[in-house]
A and B are shown apart, each in its own frame.
Chain A
Amino acid sequence: LTAGEIAAAVRTRTTSARACVAEALERIARDPELNAFTALFADRALERAESIDAVLASGRDPGALAGVPFAAKNLFDVAGVVTRAGASVTDGDPPAERDADLVAALERCGAVLVGATNMDEFAYGFVTENAHDGATRNPHDRTRIAGGSSGGSAAAVAAELVPLALASDTNGSIRVPAALCGIFGIRPTYGALSCRGAYPFVNSLDTVGPLARTASDLQLAWTALAPGPGTSSAPRAARRCARLDGYFEDDALPGARHAVDVVCDALGATDVVELAYAREAREAAFLITAAESGALHADRLRTRAGEYDPATRDRLIAGALMPAAWYLRAQRFRSFFSAVMREVFASHDVLIAAATPYAATQIGQRTIVVDGREIEIRPNLGVFTQPISLAGVPVVSVPVVERGALPVGVQLIGRAGSESALLELAAELERAGAVGAGAVPVAV
């Protein structure tokens, strides 16, 4: 069931919140192989569900997400629980005193947190092959990665263990796993949603947002997280859409290019735009990421480096040792690049590009051949998402799932504050059958 269907059934008392939450907990327990969850909060969830049923019994409205079970990446604070952020070096940290703002916002609308999900350590990765918690498997092919760093959240939603999950996106950590697992996700405008209670990674780039199996569920979650009028959606005929060319096509395998074709055809988008300085924007995002994450962990790295995931440790150390001039120059470039982006949005409303250059690769696979060149999988999964992160504009990732093929994702990129319009566009594409989450093989 979708989040919308669950909430409707609970609100009309066709079923109870407790039954919906108990079923979600059972589904999760039946599928340990997926390795999407690192913790379950059964007692808290069932207690919360019972309180929602009590609210309904008293004739009051528990909210638009009544009884909807959801998961949160394990970097979100949960009151009374140590926030791990995919690490073991955080094990001795004090428990969180209160829920993260986004967890609280969903629960204010009646949703129920059931568990915390796997991720790359400190969100520094695109694969969710975690040295401490293992790899999360892709529900479409369990020998493959779920993408990252929010891989547990994406896999949990794609496998229909929960209809909604919270995640974070610094360089692509919502869009990459959404694409590889064949679901919808939104990276909001930088600063649009509160990061309070989310373990920081790169303050200049961090955003938080939801993942869902349907566009309408993503809209429901967005409304709960960002209540307000939003931006009005332009009529479809008046919406100026363009495909991003050059950098955003060069390193993509045919499957990713085809997914962009599908979306452009459905939108009648024939304009093509080459976004200047995209390569340097990705490089600046790398520099800012290295410097800020390195600084954040510098003290702990001095004494406890051995407890870090080797996949993140060396990059954190390199970042901690980086000259300040490189970081400052990257930040100046960011201002320049955001102006370049605003100029593009003067003539277009939505830009379209693949979310990743290829579909999910095998767990443990290190390289892939693109256009005859052998490239590293881990860093290159973010090649199309990182430049957009630097600009700070919102993106909805929509899934293209065709029979017999692995899912791929397409980014719908809008100007700052255009989340509502992008979500409406995603819903239109879903209604037209151009995009949508496909069925996943049933776990045995």
Chain B
Amino acid sequence: MPLDDERRRAVIAATARLAAFAADVAAVELGADVAIAGTFVP
């Protein structure tokens, strides 16, 4: 289903938010002095 202009702008805004979050999370990985790896255990 094609997106109209309004929907397209909303999806782009949501994607931009996710991109900013991804950059923050990546910065931790790049800057952390411990390896970010392993299996998730609560």
Interface on A for B, CB 8 Å cutoff?
189-191, 277, 279-280, 283-284, 286-287, 290, 301-306, 313-315, 317-319, 321-323, 325-326, 329-336, 338-339, 391-393, 416
Contacts and interface: CB of A to CB of B under 8 A. Distances in A.
B1 A306 contact: yes
Place the interface of chain B in its size category.
20 to 34
Given A321-B11, A334-B40, A329 B29 contact: yes
B5 to A, nearest CB: 13
What 8 pairs between A and B have smallest CB-CB spacing?
A392-B42, A318-B14, A283-B21, A326-B22, A314-B10, A336-B36, A416-B42, A332-B36
Given A329-B26, A339-B34, 6 more contacts: A280-B28, A314-B14, A315-B14, A318-B18, A322-B15, A335-B36
Contact of A283 (B24, B29, B42): B24
Contacts of A304: 1
A303 B18 contact: no
Nearest to A191: B42
Given A284-B21, A321-B15, A326-B18, A336 B28 contact: yes
A306 B3 CA distance: 10
A354 B13 CA distance: 29
Interface of B: 1, 3, 7, 10-11, 13-15, 17-22, 24-26, 28-29, 32, 34, 36-42
A303 B2 CA distance: 9
A370 to B, nearest CB: 18
Interface of A is mostly: helix
A335 B40 contact: yes
B18 A290 contact: yes
Contact of A329 (B13, B22, B34): B22
Nearest to A379: B17
A335 B21 contact: no
A280 B37 CA distance: 16
B42 A338 contact: yes
B37 A335 contact: yes
Nearest to A394: B42
Given A189-B42, A416-B42, A280 B14 contact: no
A314 B7 contact: yes
Contacts of B19: 326
Contacts of B32: 336
Given A280-B28, A332-B29, A333-B28, A392 B40 contact: yes
Contacts of A391: 42
26 contacts: A277-B28, A283-B21, A283-B22, A283-B25, A284-B25, A286-B21, A290-B14, A290-B18, A305-B1, A315-B14, A317-B7, A317-B14, A319-B14, A319-B18, A322-B15, A323-B22, A326-B19, A329-B22, A329-B26, A329-B29, A332-B29, A332-B37, A335-B36, A336-B29, A336-B32, A392-B42
